[in-house]
Amino acid sequence: MSDGIRAGAAIQLLSPEGERVSNTHYDISLGDAELRDLYRDMVLVRRIDTEATALQRQGELGLWASSLGQEAAQVGSARCLRPGDFAFPTYREHGVTWSRGIKPLEFLAMFRGVTNGGWDPIERGCAIYTIVIGNQALHGAGYAMGIQLDDSDDAVIAYFGDGATDEGDVNEAFVFGSVFNAPVVFFCQNNQWAISQPRERRSRAPIHERAAGFGFPGVLVDGNDILAVMAVTREALDRARTGGGPTLVEAYTYRMAAHTTSDDPTRYRRAEELEIWRLRDPIERLKVFLARQGIADRHYFDQIEQEADELAVHVRDGVRSMPEPEATSMFDHVYAESHTLLEEQRRHLHEYEASFVPGGSA
Amino acid sequence: MTAMTMAKALNTGLRRAMEQDSKVILFGEDIGRLGGVFRITDGLQKDFGEHRVMDAPLAESGIVGAAVGLAMRGYRPVVEIQFDGFVYPAFDQIVSQVAKMHRRTEGTVRMPIVIRIPYGGGIGAVEHHSESPEAYFAHTAGLRVLTPGDPQAAFVTIQQAIACDDPVVYFEPKRRYWDKGDVDEGLDARDRQRVPDPWQARVVKAGDDVTVACYGPMVRTCLEAARASSDASLEVIDLQSLSPLDIETLVASVERTGRLVVVHEASANVGIGAEIAARVTERCFYSLEAPVLRVTGFDIPYPASRLEEHFLPDLDRVLDAVDRAMAY
């Protein structure tokens, strides 16, 4: 299977060398402040990722799913959302949750094991992380159907990876989105690997080409080019808002780290592959562009580095000092209205644990 | 009071819920123009429109998964799974998402979804159309499981399930769809003073010697057994709620009768009957005159329809268990 970037098939507005590239259909014009802000977001998200990986190694997090290398796809796409829109992330979309205003400690809490959620999805316009592969694509399609019933011009973006395109739920989401012409953008980050399985095991055809079979447009974009990601996502969201139905965006990117901290990618992929993708780094190319265009200087980059350092301290200290949940809190919110049998178990646990006197002998 | 079938009672209850709350929407295969394969949604699309009674693509996980999204947007989806044996593709969405969303979001996202499933055998159907999968769902924390025993219960509980802020898996005993019973249509299901709590078991016939606990399609069977029983006086309890179970009503009865027979179509192994036996034994150990006995389907895949009369509990098998309980 050919490399979508090398073949020139993917939409690109910023080359890996940081040169602006023109495209006949897509373009984007952003102010200097916004461009600098995109850079800042990507650097900060990457720093959170670095810290989280270290925290997992130190035993402070149970697990971490790294977003390293996918910052442009995530920040760029989520940047295009309006407050009333709704994002459905997987467990790797730290750049998306960050862009929706969810605080790092809120999305780290699940990995610490103090909650299975971390924020109020309705208030933030962003669902909590979904771990079961592909489930959230259907939630996105259904939410978009609700938007239609409301006669609103809000839109949905549903995230998933190349691995999830194997799942029935993602393909069913394409069917539902399509036949109801729902305002949903299916945003697939093709990071080339589903744990140890390469993308060749996903499909014999490129992922974005599947959209045609479902009756809506599919677009291949360089997922490490934040300008192209924004241009493509913006058009897809506009189409959704104006009654044009779904779009499948395949953001061609690369999972630079392991699947999660429990994984060892040296067992299944070559180091040379990483070298190719390191040259396509999403942050570096924007940095070169900003510097060359005189949009940002060394002083600005230093300032962002310093902000990242401070954020890292905040993340480290914040994770370590997260309060331990009360044991009996596990019974909270199982139901909107609890019931007798459950409350009996809660009482039992409470009394059982209270029966142990600290320091007492058995 | 109006005499109507359970099918009509469900249809009337759905209509009432849709009239009272514009957020209530129906979603399922063939439920629109056709009115559902059992006609439970008959006429509702015509009266409420295609936006509120939506025919779904033929994909059960898709139906339930989309309902999760609709619920997040503020709707109260009532989805229909066409037959019991077809709910399994949606099992992942039901147990991983529908059941857990409220807990995972720490109470910020509610899942007021009703999943209607016609279940059980006795209609001579081909395979996958006669199953009783209720224990899978009763086993899953976060779900509520209801099943009506007669048309009046169907009329009221379908409305209560829709009004409930928790997800409800609503099992409809398909072979009782065409049984008639008196329904008080004037009853307002929201009136907590006049309408019974749906999560409470109902004593449908009082008796002294043996408590017979049953639900759904077996309620009629057990009432017939109680009428036919000459030697022992049976107290028949319709559990109605399979999750949570109303153990108190059973305990109160068994403390008087000293004997309990649990009857369901579903297989015995790790089923509702096993759970009831364990809980009642724990609470009523000194009142029991006999072990808790179960009359159930056997631990086999649902048999071909020519054999189902040998598989399904009937009046005689219920009375046989009653005799065994009395003989201890």
Question: Is the distance from CB of A189 to CB of A70 less than 8 angstroms?
Answer: yes
- Contact (CB<8Å) B61/A333: no
pLDDT at A203: 85
Q: What is the DSSP secondary structure assignment for residue A325, as one 8-state letter? A: P
- Which residues of chain B are modeled with pLDDT < 50? none
Q: Nearest by CB to A143, which of B51, B69, B245?
A: B69
Question: How far apart, in Å, do the first and last CA atoms of chain B sit?
Answer: 43
Which site among A172, A175, A329 would you substitute to test the B interface, given the most B Cβ atoms closer than 10 Å to its Cβ?
Answer: A172
Q: Which domains does chain A have, with CATH numbers?
A: 32-320 (3.40.50.970), 327-362 (no CATH)
Residue A305, φ and ψ in degrees, nearest 5 = -60, -40
- Which residues of chain A are modeled with pLDDT < 70? 1-7, 359-362
| Beta-carbon contacts of residue B108 (< 8 Å; ≥ 6 apart) | A117, A120, A121, A122, A123
pLDDT at B164: 97
Q: Nearest by CB to A121, which of B70, B72, B92?
A: B72
**Contacts B105 to A, Cβ<8 Å:** 117, 120-121, 128, 333
Q: Nearest by CB to A132, which of B70, B92, B248?
A: B92
The answer to whether residue A175 neighbours chain B at the CB level (below 8 Å) is: yes
The answer to whether residue A344 neighbours chain B at the CB level (below 8 Å) is: no
Torsion sign across C-alpha atoms A52, A169, A254, A270: positive
- Contact (CB<8Å) A335/B97: no
Residue A292: other Cβ atoms inside 10 A: 12
CB pairs under 8 A between A and B: 139
Which site among A91, A143, A338 would you substitute to test the B interface, given the most B Cβ atoms closer than 10 Å to its Cβ?
Answer: A143
Q: Which residue's structure tokens are 């995972």?
A: B104
Q: By CA distance, what is B76's nearest residue in A?
A: A146
Q: Which residue's structure tokens are 């479902």?
A: A214
A174-218 residue pLDDT tens: 999 999 999 999 999 999 999 999 988 888 899 999 999 999 999
pLDDT at A2: 56
- Global pTM? 0.97
Which site among A116, A332, A333, A334 would you substitute to test the B interface, given the most B Cβ atoms closer than 10 Å to its Cβ?
Answer: A333
Kindly tell me the burial class for residue A323, based on how many C-beta atoms sit within 10 Å of its own C-beta (0-12, 13-18, 19 or more).
exposed
Catalytic residue, from B129, B139, B264, B310: name it: B129
A253-269 residue pLDDT tens: 999 999 999 999 999 99
Q: Which domains does chain B have, with CATH numbers?
A: 2-183 (3.40.50.970), 202-327 (3.40.50.920)
CA pair distance A112, B282, nearest whole angstrom = 38
ipTM of the prediction: 0.97
| Residue A19 parent element (H or E) | none
- Contact (CB<8Å) A135/B105: no
A49 in helix, strand or coil?
helix
| Nearest-5° Cα angle at B297, B292 to B298 | 95
CA pair distance B118, A350, nearest whole angstrom = 40
| Beta-carbon contacts of residue B233 (< 8 Å; ≥ 6 apart) | B207, B208, B209, B210
pLDDT at A4: 61
pLDDT at A1: 44
Q: Is A259 a catalytic residue?
A: yes
CA pair distance A92, A129, nearest whole angstrom = 8
Catalytic residue, from A239, A255, A280, A285: name it: A255
